[in-house]
Structures are given as structure tokens and as C-alpha cells.
Structure 1
Amino acid sequence: MKYQQQQDIESQRLSLLSVEDLTDLFILNKINDGQSMSKVKSFGDDQGLARKINSDIKQGISTEADVQKNRECFGDNTPVEKEPITLCELIMECLEDTMLRILLLAALVSTVIGIINEGLATGWTEGATIFFAIFLIISITAGNNYLKEKQFRQLRRRLDDGKCQVIRGNKVTEIATKEIVVGDILLFNLGDLFVVDGLMIQGSAVKMDESAMTGESDEIKKLPYQEMVQQKQQLLNQDASRGHTSPFLISGTKCLDGTGQMLVLAVGQNTISGQLKKLLIQDNPPTPLQQKLEGVASDIGKLGVIVSIFTFIALMGHLGYDIYLGEIQFKSLRTLQVLVESFMISVTIIVVAVPEGLPLAVTIALAYSVGKMKDEQNLVKNLSSCEIMGGANNICSDKTGTLTQNIMQVTALYVEKNTIKNDVHTIKSKLNKNTIELMCESICYNSNAFPQKDKVTNKWIQIGNKTECALLECADNFNYNFSQYRPSDKILRQIPFNSKRKKMSTAVYNPKTQFIRVYTKGASEIVLNQCIKMVGPNGVEQILDQKAKDQIYNDIIQAFASESLRTIAIAYRDLDPHSQNSSALGQIPQLTKFTQSIQEDDLDKDLVLVAIAGIKDPIRPDVPNSIKQCHASGVTVRMVTGDNIMTATAIAKECGILQSGKQLGQYEVVEGKTFREFVGGLKTIKDKDGNEIKEVGNKQNFKIIARDMKVMARASPEDKYILVTGLIAEGNVIAVTGDGTNDAPALKKADVGFAMGITGSDVAKDAADIILLDDNFSSIITAMKWGRNIYDCIRKFIQFQLTVNLVALFMSFLGAVVLKESPLNTIEMLWVNLIMDTFASLALATEPPNITVLERQPYKREDKIVSPTMNRTIVGGSIYQIAVLCGILFVLPKYMDLSMPEELIGQKFHKNVVQMSIFFQSFVVMQVFNSISCRQLDYKTINPFTNACNNPLFWGVQTFTLIIQCILIQFGGKFVKVSHLTVQQHLLCIAFGVGSIIFLVLVKIIIPEKFCQSFELFREDVITQDKMDDTLASRLRRKSTTRQRNRKTENSDYVTVRSIQQSHQRM
């Protein structure tokens, strides 16, 4: 509130406008009923409003000092994000673990009993040691979670590091979106997702999707402020029963069509979307793998609770029997002490049994993988997409910029019936001057790109659409500078390129001829079909009949396409406005109205063909190998492109998607229209809950065509969506790439959507799960590699943890029944819990991927997490460890002197302290060596040290564990209730650990994998998201009251927001 007041004071001092004055303009009901328009008029229209915020609608903010003033007055554009959780909050969250609280209470009682029984000098040691062990667990867990939260926060900030173009000081400047300030003139195009609120001051054919803010799905037409003022009454009558036309552009909405400029009026937390984001910030939902693992965790937790109960019953039975024999008095401190110790052991068993490390391992694996993926040009938005990519078996890829380098250059021209290749700029002297003017002006007017020449290297830096950049560079070679043609008062109307029309047209007034000239460029065969004439030799126009069109198509367009060239046709026509309205002569408003009255398809028909450009976009060097790798990995790659069928086929062969020299199958290469008609498009049906869903019209035909199809040419976003819908319905896991606004539905529909980070629109990035920072297909292979590796890491961890759990639970119960006590005391079990949860998750969940992950088939949706090979490792390892530990308890004393050292005699130690110390040491050492065996999942990999050097962190964690373990044994003494061991005894423990590796190697050699397929250790029920908090494991684990409180607040805020949106819809 104080910050807001300071902003208002500064802004009033500067311009008499406050932050509230500006944000009030974007209240939806005020926009709809015209109040916002009236308020802008009261400020002096758009120019007066700009002056009041230290700007100008033509030149923008003039100086950097003014930019800083506006930032101080009206705030910055820092994205709204949830308040980071502090280390103290994470520590408190750990303390909310029910079992740890019970253990703390029991430790307190134990300390009191110890002091009463032994005195203050020594009685406090056992309880204090337990307190310290719990503190250590909490500190390490909270610290680990804090680092994880910090890393994810940094990744979220990276997602907001977008770029945009603004006009400052009458120059177009590219800046980061977070640098936008109130008063900037922001340039926007089709596909942009708005992050600020503003007033549209210039634009053409702009249509917006405001459904995210209003809930209305209709496209909303937007007009520049001055045009809106002129047509206000007419538009108010038209908008009475449908979406409201206005010049107000709202943050969180998407540009579906057109281009324009807006005067920025609200940024950051002052925008409409910023205010809503503060209410709706939520934690990430559980990933599918976490939901699946929750079922495993619950099964293990149930087993732990059962063992804990039976262990407590067994210990109480022994206590009752001792009381019955008179060895212990019923009403004595000793009875209370035994009761408390038995209770602590039982609670500790639950603490050890409940696999806290399972969700932790998933989180660590995701955090580690997401960080590494970012280094390899994959920016992850949706965490679950990482693991899902491990099961992807189909990739539907774009061509431009993904398979190709997106560094385009015009290498061929067909102009004046001549074909020129490579050095196209050398033909300037051979072409008619008027032909060059027609071609270059059409290129310059029909573009929104801003290529720039590097002053040092004199090379072009392509900014914007790369196809347009290539054409503009070609025009520059003919001495036509695009900056002289825009913005231009001569432009009467502009129809932007879209996937349906596949062309762009601009109507320009020519004062010399007093005609309106319509320049058109677009897909060559589309534009060619609209032409009735062409520019021939010496610039003379010739009739273009169907025979001539067919010849151009076969000899030029297909020839260029067979060389992997994208073909763009350039054409024009002249309109005579006098035939319709003689009073329009030279009057721009009337001419604009005249061109606006013409239907889009009528404006650019009956064209004159000027030229056809062949644009080369080289294949990325690593793409063929990546495609080959996909085929070896069991992944089908399909190219979906807007290029014509010849260009698409040539590129696909060059990439390796299609085999060169092999005759194509009937459906290997199809056009989008053919595909759409053959499969019957999409139809709407209702599921069992009555919800409407889309499915392919003819499923049988879809199976036929999808089985062989590798390339779809002249594909629309609708075709891509149909393909993805059908493939998913067939049970496939689909990854899709996209860059355009219309790709958003397919990106959302896919299991994993990849948006292009360089060429992708904001809408596509918003819909995607992962952003390819380099627009490179090979980066998708990287995501697939890490996705498979995440699954592998979790499996390795499960192998390790289940072995530890089974052995610890069995030995605790066996000791309680036979020895009247658990072989591992509370402190030792807490240390084991730390090893098998936090340390093991760090060691095994951060394993880097190796090349073998891409040499096998992808995981299937229905695959069990615990595979037969893992069953064999878990059961084999458990049998070996249980046998060794039983031998230590019942056989070893017969063959080794395990008497208590003299210095411990008379102190409060277990009578078999050396034996129990060897038991503890052997147990931990076997876990360290077992973790080495658990790094291998492949049935064929016998050597446990394969790829031993690719994870230094693993060896660091194991070394640290052994060092701390030896310190505990040698110096733990009365605190841990252990005795130091001799060198011989240490070597024996190490031998037991090495033996576990040898035993598991023998198990792999002797026992076939099929033997383990006949049983499963756990059911692996998938826990749905709404029941995640109701599982036994979840109840026993910590539950943050802080987060529960936040969740309740979020829910109430969501209801509030929805009611606000609904009230806007009713207006």
C-alpha cells in the first residue's frame, strides 16, 4: 500500500495522472459501456494522454531519463510471482511431520527419565542425541528443499525473459519485456501474448482472444483509438449483442490476427492480469510419476505400520513376561523407560518405513534434469513434461527453424521469364527498372520484419520472420531500403499473412497514377492461381492462361521445390477508385474506406505475377543423425509443414525422415487437405460424464493413413490438431513442435508441446510445455533423453530404498521377537533414514543419462515402475543382507571374540555392544555397496561399475556416508551406544559390503528375468491428484498447515475471480 501511495504521489507530480487513473481505464465493464473511451477523451484523446505520461504517440518516450522517471512513477514490469518460501518456513514445515513430533515428545520423556535415573551428568545423553539426530534430518531436508525452490524460482524467471519491440526516441528498439514502462509505444504482431495493458493507437485487422480474462470465446475486433472515435456510434450499435470492439488491449489476452502499435498504460502488478495473478498463484500440481509413486509409498507405509505395531506388541510381551517373572518391577522407572524406548523404536520404524525419499527423489531428479535441460536449450515450463518425454513414441515436427537452420537467403529468382540462381543481385542491369520497383516495393510493404546490418561485419542480423528477412535482404541488394516504406501514410489497408490465406496483401495509394496498388506475396501456387497476367521480358505484361500457369508450376515451382527451396510468389494489381467514387481522388480517409469495403478475397484477385523467389533454408547439420537416433529409439518422426509437397518431400529425404532412392508409399507423403478429407476431420461426442470431446471422424481411415504417413505438406494448424488427436486416441505418447498462434491447440492437446523460443509466438509459448531456446530438433532428442533418464533415476532409487526398507523392517521385527529389542536403536535408525532418503536421493536421482537410454524402446503408459529385473535385484539384495545380519546376530559370536572393551566395562552400554556395533556398521556398509549395484537397471549389464565415472556426486555422497559412519562408530560412544571396532572388524564389515555386489552379479547370471515376471512386490495403484492428501503415506508425512491455509485462500480467491469474470460477461 505504501509503495502504491508513493507511485501515485510521483505520478501526480509528473503528469497529474495517478496509477489508479490509468488502471481504471481497463475495468471491463467500463470498457464495454464506453466510460473508458470518455475518460481518454477527457485526457485530451490519445495524444493528450501520451503527453500526460511523458510520451508521444509517434516518437514514444524521448530520453532514457524519462524512461526512468516513468518507471519510478508508474512501476516496473516485473512479473508477479508467489512470495518465495523462506528457510525458516521450510524448517517449520518439517516440524509438522506427525511422526517426528511424536518422536520429539518421546525423546523428551526419555531425557527426563534418564536424568532421574542416572543424574544430570550422564542421563541427558541419549535424549539429547535423538534431538540432535532429528535436528540434523530437519536441517538437511529443509536445506535441500530450499535449494530446490530457489532453482525452480530461477527457472520461472527465465520463462519471463521475453523480448519485444518498442518505439523510443522515434527509433524501433528491442528490449526485454520486463523493461517496458508506461508511455512506451509497443509494436505487436499476430501471435503475441500481451503482458501489459495499453491503448491501440495504430493497427490493421487486429483480432484478439480475450477468453482468459472475460471467459468469452468470441474473437474481439480491435481498432485504433482515432478510428474508434470516428466509428463509435456505428460500432456501439453493432456490439449490442456480441463482443465489444474497442481500442483497449488487456494483459493476458492474445493477438489472433493483425499487427499494430499500443501506448502502454499499465505494467507489472498494476495490470489486470497482474492483479489476478496475485490471487491465483498456486504450487505446481503433482506430476504423473509422483502420483504413481504415491501408490508405492502407501503400500510401503502400510507394511511399516504393520511391522511397527507387531514390533511394539512383541516388545511389550517381553516386558510383561519380565514383570511376571519379577525381573522388573511394574511400578518403576525401569518399566517406564523400557516402555518409552519400545515406543520410540516403533515410531522410528514408521519414520524409516514411510518413503519420504520417493517424492524427494522425483523432485531432485526433476530439478537436476530441468537445470541440465536448460543448459542444453530446453526451457521447461511444465515439470511433468520432463518425465512424459521418456515415453514419447511419436514426434510431429515443424520444418522451418526446427529441422532447418532458419537462416534464409534468396538463392533463386524467376522474373521476366528468366531463372537466376545463386547471385541474384547481379541481374540488376538486366531487369526493367519498373519490374525491380514492383518486386521490391511489394516485398517492403508486405513485411513486418526488422533485419539489421552489423556495422562491423556488414552481415545481416535477422530480426522477425526469417522468410521476410530473406526477401528484405534481397530488396536491399536492389537498393530498396524497407525502412523508407514503413510506417507509411500511403498504406490504406493491410491483410496480414495467416495459415488459411497463405498470403499477405497491402493496399497503397500511388499519387503518380492516382490508383490504388495492391501488393501481394505468399505461397507460390496460391498466388499463381490468382494471377491473370505476368510481367514478361522488358517489363511488358503478358496474358497468363492456364497452360502458362501449369508450365510455371512444373518448370519453376516444382524445380525450385525439388532443390529444397521454399517458393514465394510476388504479384500486384491496380484498382481505380474513381470508378466507384470520384470524390475520393487523393483523399486518404475516403480511399481507406473504399479499400476497407472490399472483401479480402476480392482485394487480391486478378493479379499480375511479378516474380517467384526461391528461398534456401539449409538443414541443420545434426538433424540427420538425430532422426536416425529417433528411429533407433523406437520413435516415429513426422514432418508437418506449410510448404508445398515437392519442397517438403525434398527436405524430408535430406533429413532422413524419408529414405532417399526408395519409392514412396501411398500415404507416406500427403497434403493437409487430402488427409483432412480422408479421415473425416473431427467430430464432437460426449464422454460418460456428459463432457464434449473431439475425436477423428473416421478412425479406420486414420489408422490406415497414420501407419505410413511421414510428411504432411501444405498443412494447416487444424490438420496438425487432427493428427495429434488421432495419434493420442491410438494410445501413443505425442510430442509436437509449433511456433504460430494457430499451433496453440495442437501444443495443448499433445502430451508434450514444444514451442520455438526464437521464432515462436507468445501464444505458442504460453500453450507449450517446453520452449526450445535454439529452435533445434536435436534439442527435442535431448528432452527425450532426459525424460527417459528421470524414469531410470527413480527406478534406481526405488531399487535401493525398497531393499533397505525390507531389510530394516524384517530385522527390527526379528530382533524384537528373538532378542527382546531392535538390533538398531533409535539414533541408528534415524541415521539410516537419512542415508536412504536424503543422501540416496541426491546420489541416485542425479545420475546423468548415458547413450544406452536412446538405444531402447520408450516406456509405455502402462509399464510398472518396479520391473521384473528390479524385483530380482530387490529380493536378491534383501536375502543376502538378511542372511549376513542374521549371521552376525546368531553365528558370529561363535567364531570371533566380541567381548566388551575394558574401557567400556562398568559404563551404561549394551552387554553385546561390539556385536551390535558390527551389526550397525555392516548394515550401513552394505547399503553403500548396494547403491553401486542399484545404479544398473539393464538386465544385460552384469558389470556394476559400468559408467562408474559419469557421476562424481554419487561417489562423493557414498564417501561422505562412509566417513560419517566411521566417525559414529569410532567416536560415537555413549551418544550412539556403540563401541569402536578393530581394523579386523572393519575389514569384515567391508567384506560383507563387497559380498553384496558379488552376490547380485551371481543372481543376474543365474536367475533368468522371466522367473521374476511371475510376481510383483507392490500393486502400484495410481493415486489421483484429488486423493493425494488422503493416502496413508501422506498422512504420516508432513503436512504444512501454512500451505493448507494458502490453498484455502487460493480457492476462495478463485471463486472471487470467477464471480468477477462472470459479472463482466453479463454486462
Structure 2
Amino acid sequence: MFVWEALHDLTLIILIICAVLSIAVIRDGIRQKVSIYDLVVGDIVHLSIGDQVPADGIFISGYNMLIDQSSLTGESVPIDICEKRPFLLAGTKVQDGSGKMLVTTVGMRTEWGKLMETLSEGGEDETPLQVKLNGVATIIGKIGLVFAVLTFLVLTVRFLVGKGLRHEFTRWSSGDALKLLNYFATAVTIIVVAVPEGLPLAVTLSLAFAMKKLMNDKALVRHLSACETMGSATCICTDKTGTLTTNHMVVSKTWVCGKAKEVNNTGPKDSLVNDISEDVLNVLLQAIFNNTGSEVVKDKDGKTTILGTPTEAAILEYGLLLGGDFEEQRSICKMLKVEPFNSEKKTMSVLVALPDGKIRAFCKGASEIIVKMCYSSINGNGETVPLSEEQVRNVMDVINGFANEALRTLCLAYKDINDDSNKNSIPDSAYTLIAVVGIKDPIRPGVKEAVKTCLAAGITVRMVTGDNINTAKAIAKECGILLDDDLAIEGSDFRQKTPEEMSQLIPKLKVMARSSPTDKHVLVKTARNSLREVVAVTGDGTNDAPALHEADIGLAMGISGTEVAKESADVIVLDDNFATIVNVAKWGRSVYINIQKFVQFQLTVNIVALMINFISACASGSAPLTAVQLLWVNLIMDTLGALALATEPPHDGLMRRRPVGRTESFITRTMWRNIIGQSIYQLAVLLVLNFVGKQILGLRGSDSTAVVNTFIFNTFVFCQVFNEINSRDIEKINIFRGILGNWIFTVIIVSTVVFQVIIVEFLGTFASTVPLNWQLWLLSVLLGAISMPIAVVLKCIPVGRIIATDKHHDGYDLLPSGPDLA
């Protein structure tokens, strides 16, 4: 009924008519500029160099069209689009050529859209630390509640029994009601002290501090919890291009005149210039600068830029490194005919007229094809010599050797045209081999060391890439990821496995090549759910978004990463460097251990405060620590303690530990040793002072009770001050390392002492304290300071702690933990 009434609205009727007319005439049959959001199935889109493909479609016509699909498929090599391979995908880029595309799919039905749909699956999971902290907070809160109820009941029962023994049960005064109210206030205060409301503050402070520091180290943390999650990571699934490698193709090795040489890409010129004759160098430069679809451009400032595909750019860059001049070569040589690169022939050829009038053909392409087209080679003097079968085998051995080193090989060849009848056609045989070049995407500086650090820290590094398996294996070995007993597999083989087979396979899996977005997503999901690993994933393309979303922590590349990848990630690595990822893990571990320090400190205060009040209430019917005093201790413990311990910077020893497993206990045996040891000492001192303090201190008079209670409070606070210093390191004896470098910690300790003096000496009525003489002040400080040598003794006591016996966390073993075991 409502719809029918709405349809009678004049404006709506007009809009409906316009919509029908718009559907009837979509594009008027002429070429026009429209928004990509207005594209519909059936539209014909014109594409040229630099354009982003706006929808899925089919190639209709065009010239030399190369598509960069790395953002969607992870493949670094551009795809040649033609009638035999006509499919274009949304989100990819036109790297070369131009063409027309028939739109077949738009919106969420495109491959890009399907990837986006996977990102909306599921909600936000709690981080491993959040799960553990929730459990700790719940247990502490329940224990505090039990002690609070028991304390209130004991105090109330003792009061009622005493009142009954004095035969005053029927006589009640306002003073009696006030006593009961004070008992209730004490009980409530115990709950306040016990409930770890400072825990979220400690977590947030530690994460915010790490987030700020990481920003200076080229890592933008989008979600605070990502810091601590990265610290618990047991596995990093990283892509290759741009993360482990520089994403900049260079010529790494060459074979010229029968000799293979390393290319010096760091100097002003390559040493090959000095090893070959000028004639050979001229032919080589002619082959590089004339037979190319790319070009070298200089701006107004004289800065050189190479435009073209990564492979072409690498060869041109090598030509410049040999001292060649692109513009000069192009100006002195006249281009007669060009055969662009063809994916079927896998070659590119040109016919040029040289300055001396000679006609010369140049050809370059896949090594095995060019070698078959060559009947001769050029020697060191620039002379042409025939290629024997043995020499061909030697050249092929060189090519295979380059390929095994993850180098993409291309051959350069030439042929002089002497027959007038063939001067207008490009030959397909009888060439002279000039050179074999090996091109690679170099490993980033520092990647080997970063991978080594990960392995020492118990973090498994897996490379997931779209490249072929030989290249992937070679790069992985160079980075130190793939060892002799490790497994490398192609995505097509992986996806055929059953979930059980995948679970058995993943612990040994270090390289997955030719992987699809789905393969990466399944790998991450299986590792998380079946193997209970804490998985970090790096990615830069739209294809990586589902895996980034599924992982415990997603790390997107800031330079090469797409906006979709960045939106799906928890951390954006601004410099695209794997070493930065390791730094994030280091800070993450610092966050985790800083929160452990705070919990150790807090639990010690909790146990002592609860037990001293409970035991005292049971024995004497009164609590030595008042509500105000407990609240001040709570302030020290929660707010100031969180701020002090949560801002401790990381040290290198953190990356020599195994990662904390998802199922491991947050409060370790080492922590319990420290907590129990310090609690026993503090309780012994405070109980002795509570029951025989007057006699020990020689206190007499009407104010002796107030003095001893103040002294107990003062000693209790100084015990916490020194124990806070002890908590700077849970295992190491040297707790003063870097203390002056952490000015926040120093300021908080000094501020706590100053405020304690003010409370004791000047806030007597409010805090239920009386001023103390200097001897009692000194004794309070000394009793508190004794906790430091006690901490040294405790840390020398070995305890068993559970850590993984191997990097895959398949089993557990009890290993001793002491001051020297980090």
C-alpha cells in the first residue's frame, strides 16, 4: 500500500520515466567520456598506456597491449593481451600499447569485487593477548571479591560477637553504624584494589608508545592491538616482489665474447667496458638502444628517467652503465622496420640503417629461441666466428646457470643485410650472438639479516609469490628462507590437497610459487585454525586483501601497495622493507613483556594488600591499611605503575626468544616465582610490624597505634617503589640497564616518593597518618630496598618454563630458566 501511494508522487513518476529512457539509450552510439562508476555490461572502453582497467572485459582490438596484473595476481611479468588471450581484469594497469575492451562484468561480480566480498566475512577477533588478559582480569577480580566478602564478614562477626559478649547487643549507637560502614568501605576498597582497572591503561599506554616509536621507524600502525599481536607472531607469510626484493629489475650478470661477468651496478660504469674492444661495445650499445620499445627521458633538471616495462628498463639502464647515450644512438641510426615483442615468438626485432650506410637487423628475446637463430658469435676483437655445437652447449650451460640463480635471461643478436633484395625485411635466422644478459630483481639490503633474526626468534618465514617456482626457490635460498630440508610447492599442487594434508604440509612449507589469492587465503586460514599459529601476512596487491584480512596481523606495503590492501591491513610498512616488519615484531614483543612486567608488579601488590587486611581482620578485628591508603596504593599500582612499566623500550634479547604461543599461559612460572617470593617477604615484614611493631620500634603512648599504622603504610609503599624497579626485568639481574634513558620511569618513581612524603607528613587527617621521625623514614626505605637483593636471589632460583622444542611448536619441553637464559 505504501509503495502504491508513493508511485503517485509526480517527482517519482518523472524520475521513473527518465530511468526508462536512460535504459533505452545507453551511450548514443558515439565515443564519450563517462565515469567508471557509470559503466555497464556491453560498453566498449578505450584503453591506453597508464590507464587502469575499470571492469572485467574482453579484448576486441588493439596494438602491442601489455597489462600489469601484479596488483591482482601477484605476477610481476606483464601479460601480452591478444585475440588468443583476450581477458582483462578490473584493477590491472595498461603498461604498454592501446586497445578496446568489451565490458562483461562490473561491480562486485568482477574478480576484484569477489575479493572485496571475502573481506566482509567474519568480525573482529580478539588478539591472543586480549584473550589472555581477559582471563587474568576475571581471576583477579573473583579472588578480590572473595577476599573482600571474607574480610567484611570476619570484621562484622567479630564486632557482633564482641558486642554480644559485652551484653550491648540491644544497644546500638551511631558509632556502631559508622564502624559497620567503615568495614563495608574497607571491603569495597579491597575490591577496588584487586580489580585490575589499570590493566587496560597499561595495554593502551604500551601500545600507543610502541605505535609512536614505530612511526619513526617507517611503520604506520592502523590498529593499536596490531603491535602486541605481531609480538606473538609464529609465522610470517611474505610476498616476494617489493618486500624481499627491491621491485627494480637490473642486469646482474652478462656473457659477452665467451666470458661471464658480474655487473657492477654501484659504480659510474661497468668494468665490462675495459674488457672488450670498442667495436664490440658499439655493437652491444646499438643492440640495446635501437631494439627496444622503451625510451630514456631527461627532464629540465637533467634527471634521467626510463619509461617502459621493467625488463626493457633494466637493459636500457645497463646500456647507460656502459657509457652509452640513448639520444645519440637514436639520432645516428635510422629506424627502417620494427617487429614489436610477440608472446608467441618471444622475440623483438628491428631493422636500422647505420651511419656508414649499412643495413643491420637486431633481435632480442628468450635465450633458447635466439641461440637457435644464431650461426655465429662475436669475439673479443669484434670479429664474427662460427658457433660450433660445443660452443652452443657452452652458451646453453651459461643460460641455465643464470636461470638457476633466479635470473631472467635474454639474448641479443645482430645480422648485417648485404643482399639488396632483403633490405626491407627482418631475417629470422643466421644471426650473430652478441651477449646473454641475466636480469633479476635484487634482494633488499638487510633482508638476509632480518630473516636470520626471525629464525633466531622462532618465527617461521614463508614466501608466497606469483612467480615461477625456480625463481621463487632461488630468491628464497638467497634470503635464507628455504633450507635443504624445507618444502617448496606450486599453488596448483597445494590447492588439490585435503585440509588434513595441508595441515601436515604447512610446517615444512617455506615457498609457495604460482599462488592464487585463494591459495594464500587458504594457507593463512589453515595455519591459524588447524595449527594454532599466530600468522602475520604481508601484501601489496588487491589480490592480497583476503589473506591480510584473515591473518592475525596484516602488513601492507606503503609504496607499492594498493588502497584496498592498505585498508585491509593492520600495519602499513611505509618503506616496503622486510626489515621494518622484523622491527614491528620486536616492538610487539616489547609490548607483551611490558604488560607482563606490569601484571607481575600489580599481582604482588594485590596479594600483599588483600592478605595483610584479611589476616589482620581475622586476628585483631581491624585493618591496618585504610580505604584512603589503599586507594593511594591503587593509584601507584594502576596508573603510575602502568605508565612507568609500559614505556620500557625493547632490547635485542627479545628477538632471541621463542614467540609466545596462542595457548601459552600469560603469567609464566618465572613471574609466579617473583610474585610469590616478593609477597612472602612483604607479608612477613608487614605482619610482624602489625602484631609486634610497637615493641620492636619501642613505641609507647596514646599515638603509638597511629604511628605504627603509618609506619606500616609507609613501608608498604616503599616496598612497591623498589619492587617496581625490580619489575623492569622479569629474568635478568641487572634491573638498572637503560633506566636513565627512560625518563618517564625515573620521573614517576621520584614523583611517587615526593607524594608519599606529602601524604604522610601533611595529609594526616585525610589519609589517617601521622608525621614520622627521620629514623622511621630511613627504616621504611631500608625495608623497602631489601626487596632488591631478594629479587636477585629469586632470579637465581631456576624454574621450569614451557617453550616449544622446535620452530613449528609441535611439542613442548620443560627447560630451565634463570638470570642468564633470555
**TM > 0.5 fold call:** yes
SS at match of 1:870: helix
Whether 1:614 aligns to 2:442 is no
Other-structure match for 1:101: none
After TM superposition, give the deviation of residue 931 of structure 1 in Å: 1.2
Whether 1:556 aligns to 2:357 is no
Other-structure match for 1:962: 753
Whether 1:359 aligns to 2:200 is yes
Other-structure match for 2:799: 1009
Q: Deviations over 1:816-839 (max 9, x none)?
A: 333433222222222111111111
Q: Deviations over 1:681-734 (max 9, x none)?
A: 22476xxxxxxxx564593xx37xx64x76677777777667666766455544
SS at match of 2:786: helix
Other-structure match for 1:344: 185
| Alpha-carbon separation, structure 2, partners of 1:553 and 1:639 | 29
1:727 to 1:494, Cα distance in 2 relative to 1, 3 A: farther
Would the aligned equivalents of 1:190 and 1:741 in 2 still touch at CA under 8 Å? Answer: no
| Alpha-carbon separation, structure 1, partners of 2:127 and 2:734 | 33
Other-structure match for 2:559: 758
Q: Report the residue type matching 1:245 in the other structure.
A: T
1:757 to 1:226, Cα distance in 2 relative to 1, 3 A: closer
Between the two proteins, what is the percent identity of the paired residues?
37
| Alpha-carbon separation, structure 2, partners of 1:443 and 1:879 | 80
Would the aligned equivalents of 2:399 and 2:409 in 1 still touch at CA under 8 Å? Answer: no
Q: Report the residue type matching 1:925 in the other structure.
A: F
Other-structure match for 1:801: 602
Q: Deviations over 1:83-123 (max 9, x none)?
A: xxxxxxxxxxxxxxxxxxxxxxxxxxxxxxxxxxxxxxxxx
After TM superposition, give the deviation of residue 877 of structure 1 in Å: 0.9
Whether 1:914 aligns to 2:715 is no
| Alpha-carbon separation, structure 2, partners of 1:852 and 1:807 | 32
Q: Deviations over 1:399-441 (max 9, x none)?
A: 5544455555335556899978536799998579999788657
After TM superposition, give the deviation of residue 364 of structure 1 in Å: 1.9
SS at match of 1:945: coil
SS at match of 1:755: strand
| Alpha-carbon separation, structure 2, partners of 1:226 and 1:620 | 36
Would the aligned equivalents of 1:315 and 1:816 in 2 still touch at CA under 8 Å? Answer: yes
1:696 to 1:433, Cα distance in 2 relative to 1, 3 A: farther
1:639 to 1:424, Cα distance in 2 relative to 1, 3 A: farther
Q: Aligned ranges for residues 934-973 of structure 1 at < 5 Å?
A: 934-938=727-731, 941-973=732-764
After TM superposition, give the deviation of residue 876 of structure 1 in Å: 0.8
Would the aligned equivalents of 2:71 and 2:541 in 1 still touch at CA under 8 Å? Answer: no
Q: Report the residue type matching 1:1009 in the other structure.
A: V
SS at match of 1:912: helix
Other-structure match for 2:174: 333
Other-structure match for 2:137: 297
Other-structure match for 1:997: 788
Q: Deviations over 1:962-992 (max 9, x none)?
A: 1111111111121222111111111111011
| Alpha-carbon separation, structure 2, partners of 1:386 and 1:992 | 38
Other-structure match for 1:576: none
Other-structure match for 1:380: 221
Would the aligned equivalents of 1:416 and 1:536 in 2 still touch at CA under 8 Å? Answer: no
Q: Report the residue type matching 1:991 in the other structure.
A: L
After TM superposition, give the deviation of residue 765 of structure 1 in Å: 3.8
After TM superposition, give the deviation of residue 803 of structure 1 in Å: 0.7
Hey, which of these two has a bigger chunk of helix by percent? 1
Q: Deviations over 1:497-548 (max 9, x none)?
A: xxxx9x99999999x9xxxxxx9999x5xx7469974697699x99999999
1:48 to 1:859, Cα distance in 2 relative to 1, 3 A: closer
| Alpha-carbon separation, structure 2, partners of 1:951 and 1:783 | 20
Would the aligned equivalents of 1:877 and 1:1000 in 2 still touch at CA under 8 Å? Answer: yes
| Alpha-carbon separation, structure 2, partners of 1:220 and 1:620 | 25
TM-score by length of 2: 0.69
Would the aligned equivalents of 1:531 and 1:544 in 2 still touch at CA under 8 Å? Answer: no
Return 807-816 or 433-442, whichever deviates more.
Answer: 433-442
Other-structure match for 1:632: 456
Return 542-551 or 781-790, whichever deviates more.
Answer: 542-551
After TM superposition, give the deviation of residue 780 of structure 1 in Å: 2.7
Would the aligned equivalents of 2:71 and 2:543 in 1 still touch at CA under 8 Å? Answer: no
Would the aligned equivalents of 2:537 and 2:547 in 1 still touch at CA under 8 Å? Answer: yes
Q: Deviations over 1:749-789 (max 9, x none)?
A: 55444333333344444444433222323223212222222
1:480 to 1:357, Cα distance in 2 relative to 1, 3 A: same
Q: Which one of 155, 160, 181 corresponds to residue 320 of structure 1?
A: 160
| Alpha-carbon separation, structure 2, partners of 1:625 and 1:225 | 43
| Alpha-carbon separation, structure 2, partners of 1:682 and 1:713 | 12
Q: Which one of 292, 314, 339 corresponds to residue 470 of structure 1?
A: 314
After TM superposition, give the deviation of residue 298 of structure 1 in Å: 0.6
1:649 to 1:1008, Cα distance in 2 relative to 1, 3 A: closer
Other-structure match for 1:106: none
| Alpha-carbon separation, structure 2, partners of 1:789 and 1:367 | 12
Q: Aligned ranges for residues 484-503 of structure 1 at < 5 Å?
A: none
| Alpha-carbon separation, structure 2, partners of 1:1009 and 1:883 | 23
| Alpha-carbon separation, structure 2, partners of 1:696 and 1:839 | 51
Q: Report the residue type matching 2:410 in the other structure.
A: A
1:245 to 1:619, Cα distance in 2 relative to 1, 3 A: closer
Would the aligned equivalents of 2:349 and 2:364 in 1 still touch at CA under 8 Å? Answer: no
Would the aligned equivalents of 1:416 and 1:535 in 2 still touch at CA under 8 Å? Answer: no
After TM superposition, give the deviation of residue 927 of structure 1 in Å: 0.6
Would the aligned equivalents of 1:328 and 1:334 in 2 still touch at CA under 8 Å? Answer: no
| Unpaired stretches in structure 1, ≥5 consecutive residues | 1-23, 25-29, 51-56, 61-164, 168-187, 194-202, 211-218, 236-243, 257-271, 485-489, 496-500, 513-518, 573-604, 659-663, 686-693, 906-910, 1014-1067
1:932 to 1:783, Cα distance in 2 relative to 1, 3 A: same
Q: Aligned ranges for residues 845-856 of structure 1 at < 5 Å?
A: 845-856=646-657
TM-score by length of 1: 0.55
Q: Aligned ranges for residues 494-573 of structure 1 at < 5 Å?
A: 528=368, 533=373, 552-558=395-401, 560=402, 566-569=407-410
1:876 to 1:411, Cα distance in 2 relative to 1, 3 A: closer
| Alpha-carbon separation, structure 2, partners of 1:880 and 1:832 | 18
1:405 to 1:770, Cα distance in 2 relative to 1, 3 A: same
1:417 to 1:944, Cα distance in 2 relative to 1, 3 A: closer
Q: Deviations over 1:938-970 (max 9, x none)?
A: 2xx334434444433222211111111111111
SS at match of 1:771: strand
Q: Deviations over 1:111-150 (max 9, x none)?
A: xxxxxxxxxxxxxxxxxxxxxxxxxxxxxxxxxxxxxxxx
Would the aligned equivalents of 2:90 and 2:110 in 1 still touch at CA under 8 Å? Answer: no
1:961 to 1:404, Cα distance in 2 relative to 1, 3 A: same
| Alpha-carbon separation, structure 1, partners of 2:237 and 2:35 | 48
1:761 to 1:971, Cα distance in 2 relative to 1, 3 A: same
Would the aligned equivalents of 2:503 and 2:531 in 1 still touch at CA under 8 Å? Answer: no
| Alpha-carbon separation, structure 1, partners of 2:588 and 2:600 | 19
Other-structure match for 1:872: 673
Return 400-409 or 836-845, whichever deviates more.
Answer: 400-409
| Alpha-carbon separation, structure 2, partners of 1:249 and 1:424 | 53
After TM superposition, give the deviation of residue 302 of structure 1 in Å: 0.6
Aligned residue pairs: how many?
708
Q: Which one of 723, 730, 733 corresponds to residue 930 of structure 1?
A: 723
Would the aligned equivalents of 2:375 and 2:387 in 1 still touch at CA under 8 Å? Answer: no
Other-structure match for 2:633: 832
Q: Aligned ranges for residues 1019-1034 of structure 1 at < 5 Å?
A: none
After TM superposition, give the deviation of residue 358 of structure 1 in Å: 2.0
1:521 to 1:963, Cα distance in 2 relative to 1, 3 A: farther
